[in-house]
Amino acid sequence: MNKQPADAAQREQALDPTRSFICEAPAGSGKTELLTQRLLTLLARVNRPEQVLAITFTRKAAGEMRERVFHALQSGLQAKPEAPHKLKTWQLANAVLKADTAHQWDLLENPNRLQIKTFDSLCAALASNLPLESSFGAKPQIHDQPEDLYRLSARALLHSLEDDTEWADGLSILLSQLDNKYSRLEDLLIRMLAKREEWAPLLYQQQYQQQQHQQPRILLEASLQSIISDTLEQLKARIPTEFHRDIVSLAGFAAHNLERANRPSPITACSNIDVNNQQLPGNKPEDIPAWKGIYHLLSTKSNEWRKKIDISCGFPREEKEIKQKLTDIIEALKIEDLNTSGSVREAFDDLQALPDAEFNQAQWELLNALFAVLPILIAQLTLAFKNANRVDFAEVSIKARQALGQLDDPSQLALKLDYQIQHILVDEFQDTSSSQVELLELLTSGWQADDGKTLFCVGDAMQSIYGFRGANVGLFLNCRERGLANVPLTPLKLNTNFRSEAGVVEWVNNTFAGAFPAHNDISRGAVSYSASQPFHPGNDTPAVACHGFIDPDDTLNEATTCLDIIKQTRTHHPEQTIAVLVRNRSHASDIARQLSAAGHPYRAVDLEPLADHSIIQDLMALTRALLHPADRPAWLAILRAPWCGLSLIDLDAIANVRLNDSQQLPTVLTQALHALAPNKLSASQQPASEQPPEQSDLFASSSVQTETAAINTLSQDAKARLNRVLPILEKGLMNRDRKAFRQWVEGIWISLGGPACLTDQTALTNANLYFDLIEKWPYTTDLPSLAHLQQAVDRLFAAPDPKADDKIQIMTIHKSKGLEFDVVLVPGLDRTPRSSEADLLMWHQRLNHQGLPELVMSPITATGSEKNPTQIHLQAEAAKKNYFESCRLLYVACTRAKRRLHLFANVKLNEKNQELKPPAKTSLIHAIWPAIALRIIRHQPQAAPTDHANNPATCEAGNNVSGNSITESSAPPKPLYRLPKNWVLPSLPQDNLLEDFIPRYQYHNENAQADISWVSPAARHIGTLIHRYLQNFAEQGVHCWSGERIQGQQATITNALRTLGVPAPEINDATDKVLLALKLVLQDNKAQEILSAEHPFHACEFPVTFLSQAGPKNLVIDRVYTTHEGTTWVVDYKTATPEPEQSLADFLNNQKDCYHQQLKLYQLALQQAGFSNVKTALYFPLLTEWLVLD
């Protein structure tokens, strides 16, 4: 009997194609499968597949969704499965295939008709679809690192300070607030531009209010007063009514005693409380001092419940009975906090962070300055975008919404889309921002009740962890309660966990139920916990272990324990996958070193900074020297790099050359090179075979011997190396601004022998990442500064090693979202994040107790001044949001585990009672501390190792190819990797110069190939790369490859396509097509048979000669294999796909006619070679079609 999930009814309801839903799908609940089934359900009911739009956030997620749908449609052609969830998908796919046949969609041949998009790609399509409405003229390039344009805009604004403009006074006020520090104001303006989608609508709202003769100051101050009123009302409601009378009486008693004793204390504000009325203070701003007096009566300055009650708080020693009454109240309030969801302590925290009820004049002048300046800043950015013909993603989003018009005044494009789009699905809805929800509102603004159109939003508020990117989980909560604009949404909640075993699920339920807030709070992004039910049973082995390391500074002990657990898992369960998940990348450094030292290869996903790799350091040095020839350290780094490889002694001699103000190091070296006899060839000009073993002294006849006296002491080896390298650098400097930036730097690097210095494919991939980056500035004049380039490099991460074992992975928790592993380790849970700097303008939108939106704003405080109460309030609200998101982040980490979960934290011990001290509130573990404190496995400090040579913490992980520092170190010197001194750039072959870049069938089968002149270059290069990977599949074994491993090849594929010559605008689509083909191959049974190594005979790229009357013809066949039945199959791979209006049958017939002669020649060649029963076929990876020819 097949087991049904507990939420089967909700899953079935979610497939109702006539209703709109918002579905809450916790971790491991099968959200993606449900989304796929919903999409198939809708496709079966529409007239055109373009009427169904699915939206997600990343290209990877969109590709995976497209792949799932495509695979489901393919499975619909196969036998009926037995598993219930697979059977449901199979049935839905069959319905789509019937619609496909009836409407002649040919989805299997034209999967691009599936409208599965990211928010960014959807916005780009909308913005470019109607350029006049969206203010786009020629399609601009989208830039994912637009900081140079932000800086240009900020500087343009600051340069207008001396002009007679309306905003000049506002700029002066801002500068005076920041102690006239231009650079700081520039940086703050840049940060504001990056967040403009969040604050710009609020700013325009203030302008609109002014235009409507409203007074923004009155409205903003009304919001402040509303906050005060709501907070005080909530505080009063949380204090049990039976304590009101006694608290009022005790507060008045204490206040009068303190006044008589002339002791200053906030409690004295309670002297005006109406004791006779026996009522707690009210909810007006003037009541705040009395409430703070009550707070200090019950609490200490350290924000803890008061333990000591004496004369300092207004209670004389002899008043024992009254003191005991206060003690009893405090103890009762402690118990009340433990037993109720809304604690008095939290309400007191809110009291301490209340804003002022009004702005003072200086604050309001500063806000007005921001209202005047920030719109001009946006205008400057618009000009910068126009001049550069580049935009950022935020601008595309803004223009897309502009192209759709207004909710009450839709554009023609909006009306057109309203007709075209019948159904919308949104994945990961909890990560949406305000602008994305507004986009959805515009797309659905014309929908009417009962018009058959539906919206399906699916996500998990408990996994909302992208607040730093503008995601607002409150939008998910609000849509669940109120729907989306005029589209009612029926809430659904899934609760079955298919991922984790029962032990993990139950631990997560028990631990996080108390860690999450008790109630949802839309304004603060507070999400209550929703328990899951395990689908898989557990076992007797504990599923979760919490490790505490008593020494708070000993991260090495933590790393060693992690390594031991990984070793044990690899020994006893080698098939299981392991993930080390960290909050920040730096938290993984010790563990990474331990794994490397122990010989356990791992896959680091976006973990290692690109700038840390020696190849990037060398390329940065080369770029710095070329752009700034006076940069002596850069030139020394170039001469030390492996393409030159001077010894430290020789490098020291060059470093000591004295230069006057008119001389630069490269000039002196070039002059020394020119001192050669005119008829003497340089080493780079001589054939390798004719070069003498040692070069004569290049500097003997130099006219600059005074400046280069030290250079004459160089070794013969150094002179030989300089003789090869200097002409290349000299020529490179002459070509500055004559070539594109990337072409210039990359060409010099290649000429120097840079590629020959690389040790593996990963290093080449990393080099290409650098070249891809500098390509974003077409020419050197487009680069704002070298500091800007360094910042851009610092934001990039090195490509993972493709040879690394996928069974062990290290990544950030954010990167792990959506993934699952058998064993998960989460170290560093005690560590705290860095504090963030205040912005020029702080803001917060809240819902008051009536559910109405209110806006709170505060400008930045002056340099050296104390924060104003409104700013403190906004920072407290931001801290609450961050705390709630940190709790959700830990939840995401824990729910990646299928079988075992290990948590690690360094903890402090209370020496008095031997109890563990609570961790910092900003640490990840703080939220679950009450649930795990008593179950932590204590690890005592380890003795410091005495053998430093064997201590992984003091050893470098891996060897850098080059050392760019000439400082001494206590560590043993690393070997100097460098090219031979007589190395020569390889010459291109005389014939067939592009053989390595031409598809196999073009080069080897000149007389046999069909006419492919009509095939685009990009298509040919895609075919070349797919051919190469299919050969790898066959030679390595298909079982060694997985969809995840293929996805990990994305950067490698992109670089290979670029090397083959695919144009830049087509790179992304070409990469996606290669990835899709390879993943489809892994899922296709026929492909498994073709590539199997179980055949009696099998070969890839099989060379064979055909003897004909015209002479011998050398052929190479993609794949040849002989079955156990004795049939030899000749397989030729074809990556073509049908034209949009072409049916699959017509396409295959055309392919058969096109390649029949070629395959016949292969057949005859194998028959001549002694093979019998030879049959031929074409295989189409992108279609998973097998076409037998003969």
Alpha-carbon gap, residue 761 to 300, rounded angstroms: 61
CATH of the domain at 108: 3.40.50.300
For residue 1087, what are the domain limits?
A: 1000-1188
CATH of the domain at 657: 1.10.486
Residue 817 and residue 712 share a domain:
no
Q: Which stretches of the chain score pLDDT less than 50?
A: 1, 673, 676-704, 706-707, 945-972, 988-1015
Residue 898 and residue 882 share a domain:
yes
> Residue 616: inside a domain, yes or no?
yes
Q: Count other C-beta atoms under 10 Å from residue 1115's C-beta.
A: 22
Instruction: List the structure tokens of 26.
Output: 């916790």
Residue 1034 and residue 1174 share a domain:
yes
Residue 664 and residue 727 share a domain:
yes
Residue 560 and residue 439 share a domain:
no
**Under a CB-based contact definition with an 8 Å cutoff, are residues 915 and 558 in contact?**
no
- Predicted confidence at residue 1076, as pLDDT, reads 92
Instruction: List the structure tokens of 137.
Output: 């003229």
At 939 the three-state DSSP class reads strand
Which of 494, 509, 527 is where one domain is finished?
Answer: 494
Which of 939, 964, 985 is where one domain is finished?
Answer: 939
Residue 189 and residue 171 share a domain:
yes
Which of 470, 494, 518 is where one domain is finished?
Answer: 494
Q: What is the DSSP letter of 1184?
A: T
Alpha-carbon gap, residue 534 to 545, rounded angstroms: 19
Adjacency order of strands within the sheet including 52-56: 115-118, 52-56, 423-426, 454-459, 21-24, 490-493
**Across the strands, what pairs with 1132?**
1178
Residue 490 and residue 420 share a domain:
yes
> Residue 728: inside a domain, yes or no?
yes
> Residue 327: inside a domain, yes or no?
yes
Residue 474 and residue 346 share a domain:
no
Residue 124 and residue 173 share a domain:
no
Alpha-carbon gap, residue 1073 to 1080, rounded angstroms: 10
> Residue 951: inside a domain, yes or no?
no
> Residue 417: inside a domain, yes or no?
yes
- Predicted confidence at residue 153, as pLDDT, reads 95
Of the candidates 514, 494, 425, 490, the one whose C-alpha atom is nearest the C-alpha of residue 26 is 494
CA dihedral 970→972→975→981, nearest 10 degrees, is: 60
Helix, strand, coil % (nearest 5) of the chain?
Answer: 50, 10, 35
**Under a CB-based contact definition with an 8 Å cutoff, are residues 385 and 399 in contact?**
no
Angle, to 10 degrees, between the axis of helix 761-774 and the axis of helix 786-794? 130
Alpha-carbon gap, residue 169 to 149, rounded angstroms: 24
- Predicted confidence at residue 1064, as pLDDT, reads 74
> Residue 467: inside a domain, yes or no?
yes
Residue 699 and residue 828 share a domain:
no
CATH of the domain at 1012: 3.90.320.10
- Predicted confidence at residue 1048, as pLDDT, reads 81
> Residue 470: inside a domain, yes or no?
yes
> Given CA atoms 268, 274, 278, 282 in this order, what sign does their dihedral have?
negative
What's the one-letter identity of residue 1182?
L
At 442 the three-state DSSP class reads helix
What's the one-letter identity of residue 119?
F
- Predicted confidence at residue 966, as pLDDT, reads 32
- Predicted confidence at residue 962, as pLDDT, reads 34
Specify the pTM: 0.76
**Under a CB-based contact definition with an 8 Å cutoff, are residues 425 and 386 in contact?**
no
Residue 561 and residue 453 share a domain:
no
Q: Count other C-beta atoms under 10 Å from residue 688's C-beta.
A: 11
Angle, to 10 degrees, between the axis of helix 716-734 and the axis of helix 632-640? 120
Residue 1040 and residue 1182 share a domain:
yes
Of the candidates 431, 416, 421, the one whose C-alpha atom is nearest the C-alpha of residue 455 is 421
What is the number of structural domains in the chain? 6
> Given CA atoms 343, 344, 350, 353 in this order, what sign does their dihedral have?
negative
> Residue 17: inside a domain, yes or no?
no
Segments in 104-243 forming alpha helices (H) = 119-129, 131-134, 147-159, 168-177, 182-194, 196-211, 216-238
CA dihedral 867→869→872→878, nearest 10 degrees, is: -140
**Across the strands, what pairs with 425?**
54, 456
**Under a CB-based contact definition with an 8 Å cutoff, are residues 994 and 987 in contact?**
no
**Across the strands, what pairs with 905?**
548
Phi, psi (rounded to 5 degrees) for 579? -130, 135
